[in-house]
Amino acid sequence: MSKKMSTLTFSIIFTIFLLFFINQHPHIEALTNPERYYSNMKNMNHHSNMIYNGSAQVPNNLEPTNNPKFPIGSKALSIADHMGGMMDNVKVTIVAAYETTAYATSYTSSTDRKPVRNHKWIVHEELIDIGEKILEPGTKVSTTAEHMKGMKNVVQTVEFSKTTTVYMVDFITTNGEQVTNHKWVIEGELKAL
């Protein structure tokens, strides 16, 4: 075999191993899609304050939906883009369903003083002294919700809202954590199995 042929063979084998290694790397998305990767990493850091075993308690004035698209006890596929990707493309079990307005909010956590952007979701009935009217983006509110450590009773800014059915769900995250009574996933974030 000639020296050129050996060098070419070595280069091909080296390239194949290199590509294989890169594709197996857990942070390959940092190279292939850095914007999504770093966005997810920021969200994952935010969700280090997540409460994995939530309470099934809800505000007294939150009314259950009579005929939800996803009945209690049924399974669905979550396509939720919040929680740093931990809920994206996972099976969930429906625990409860309510008709309400859900809000995405931003706030500074009282636990670690880090800003949290576009937290999804807090329902209307979890907000303090706001009346019945749907809130406009930019409205400052406080919440009784404790979905995350450091969110209760801090000033939050409404980013946007959706009037919809919200679901409390159980699931196993994409990184293997068991989550019970997760609040909230909106109907548009679920697909039938």
The ranges assigned to domains in the chain are 3-47, 51-192
Using alpha carbons only, what angle is made at residue 183 by residues 179 and 188, rounded to the nearest 5 degrees?
A: 105
What's CA 20's distance to the chain center, in Å?
A: 30
Cβ atoms of 135 and 122 closer than 8 Å: no
pTM reported for the whole predicted model: 0.74
Q: What is the pLDDT along the chain (193 residues), one digit of tens a residue?
A: 566 667 777 778 767 655 555 555 544 554 555 555 444 444 444 455 666 677 889 999 999 999 999 999 999 999 998 777 788 899 999 999 999 999 999 999 998 899 999 999 999 999 999 999 999 999 999 999 988 888 999 999 999 999 999 999 999 988 788 999 999 999 999 999 9
Residue 43 has what pLDDT? Answer: 45
C-alpha span between 118 and 111 (Å, rounded): 18
The answer to whether residues 128 and 103 touch, using CB atoms and an 8 Å cutoff, is: no
**CA–CA separation, 140 and 105 (whole Å):** 9
SS (HEC) of 40-95? HHHHHHHHHHECCECCCCCCCCCCECCCCCCCCCCEEEEECCCHHHCCEEEEEEEE
Enter the tokens of residue 103.
Answer: 């809000």
Q: What's domain 51-192's architecture?
A: Roll (2.30)
